[in-house]
Amino acid sequence: MPTLTYRDALNQALREEMQRDTNVFLMGEEVGVYQGAYKVSRGLLEEFGPMRVVDTPITELGFAGVGVGAAMVGLRPVVEFMTWNFALLAIDQLVNSAAKMRYMSGGQVGVPAVFRGPGGSALQLGAQHSQAFESWYAHIPGLKVVMPATPADAKGLLKSAIRDDNPVIFIEGEMLYNVKGEVPEGEHVVPLGRADLKRSGGDVTIICHSKTVAVALKAAEQLAAEGVEADVLDLRTIRPLDTEAVLASVSRTHRCVVAEEGWSFAGIGAQVVDIIQREAFDELDAPILRVTAADVPMPYNKQLEKAAKVDPAKVIAAVNSVLYRSGE
Partner 1 sequence: MATRTRPRARGGLDSARAEEYRGWLQQMLLIRRFEEKAGEAYSLGKIGGFCHLYIGQEAVAVGSLSALGPDDYITCSYREHGHALARGISARAVMAELFGRAAGCSGGKGGSMHLFDASIGFLGGHAIVGGHIPLATGMAFAAKYRETDQVAVCYFGEAAVNNGAFHEALNMAALWKLPAIYICENNRYGMGTALERASAIYDISERACSYDMANEVVDGQDVLVMHAAMERAVQRARGEKLPTLLEVRTYRFMGHSMSDPIHGHYRTREEVEDQRKRDPIAVWSQRLIAEGLMDDASVKTMDKRMVEEVEDAYQFAEQAPDPEEEALFADVYADS
Asked if 225 is part of the footprint of partner 1 (rule: CB under 8 A), the reply reads: no
Interface with partner 1, residue 34, by CB under 8 A: no
Q: Dihedral angle at the C-alpha atoms of 133, 210, 7, 79, nearest 10 degrees? A: -30
User: Which is the catalytic residue, given 129, 229, 254, 279?
Assistant: 129
Q: Is 33 in the site for partner 1 (CB under 8 A)?
A: no
**Interaction between residue 43 and partner 1 (CB under 8 A):** no
CB of 222 vs partner 1, minimal distance in Å: 40
Determine which residue in the list 42, 91, 124, 166 makes contact with partner 1, applying CB under 8 A.
166
**Whole-angstrom distance, CA of residue 100 vs CA of residue 61:** 17
Which residue, 9 or 79, has its beta carbon nearer to partner 1? Answer: 79
Of 99-107, 126-134, 299-307, 314-322, the window that binds partner 1 (rule: CB under 8 A) is 99-107
Q: In this structure, how many other beta carbons lie within 10 angstroms of the beta carbon of residue 249?
A: 25
Residue 166 has phi, psi (to 5 degrees) of -110, 160
Decide whether 2 or 50 has the Cβ nearer to partner 1: 50
Binding of partner 1 by 144 (CB under 8 A): yes
Nearest distance from C-beta of residue 221 to partner 1, angstroms? 38
DSSP state of 81: P
Q: How many residues bind partner 1 (CB under 8 A)?
A: 41
Contact residue for partner 1 among 3, 96, 178, 277 (CB under 8 A): 96
Cβ–Cβ contacts within 10 Å for residue 199, how many?
Answer: 17
Known catalytic residue: 188? no
Helices (H), the chain: 6-20, 44-48, 60-72, 91-92, 101-104, 134-138, 151-163, 211-225, 243-253, 268-279, 302-308, 312-322
For 215-224, the CB contacts below 8 A with 24+ separation are 215/259, 215/310, 215/311, 215/312, 215/315, 216/259, 216/312, 216/315, 218/312, 219/312, 219/313, 219/315, 219/316, 219/319, 222/312, 222/316, 223/316, 223/319
- Binding part of the chain for partner 1, among 38-46, 52-60, 289-297, 315-323 by CB under 8 A, reads 52-60
Interface segment toward partner 1; rule CB under 8 A; list 1-9, 96-104, 123-131, 207-215:
96-104
Cβ atoms of 235 and 247 closer than 8 Å: no
- Specify whether the CB–CB gap between 294 and 127 falls below 8 A: no
Instruction: With beta carbons less than 8 A apart as the criterion, state whether 324 and 204 touch.
Output: no
For residue 75, state whether it binds partner 1 (rule: CB under 8 A).
Answer: yes
Which x/- pattern over 100-139 shows residues binding partner 1 (rule: CB under 8 A)?
Answer: -xxxxxxxxxx-x---------------------------
**Residues 307 and 326 sit within 8 Å (Cβ to Cβ):** no
Which entry of 16, 17, 29, 60 is annotated as an active-site residue?
60
Rounded Cα–Cα distance for residues 148 and 327 (Å) = 31
Restricting to residues 259-298, which ones interact with partner 1 according to CB under 8 A?
Answer: none
Catalytic site includes residue 46? no
- Determine if 62 is a binding residue for partner 1 (CB under 8 A): yes
Which residues between 10 and 29 bind partner 1 (CB under 8 A)? 25
- Cβ proximity to partner 1: between 62 and 327 the closer is 62
* 159 touching partner 1, by CB under 8 A: no
> In terms of CB distance, is 95 or 284 closer to partner 1?
95
Considering only CA atoms, which of 81, 144, 150 is closest in space to residue 117? 81
Helix axes 211-225, 312-322, angle to 10 degrees: 60
- Check residue 59 for interaction with partner 1 (CB under 8 A): yes
Distance in angstroms (rounded) separating the CA atoms of residues 283 and 311:
27
Q: Interface with partner 1 by CB under 8 A: which residues?
A: 25, 51, 56-57, 59, 61-75, 92-93, 96-97, 101-110, 112, 141-142, 144, 164-166
Which residues are catalytically annotated?
Answer: 60, 129
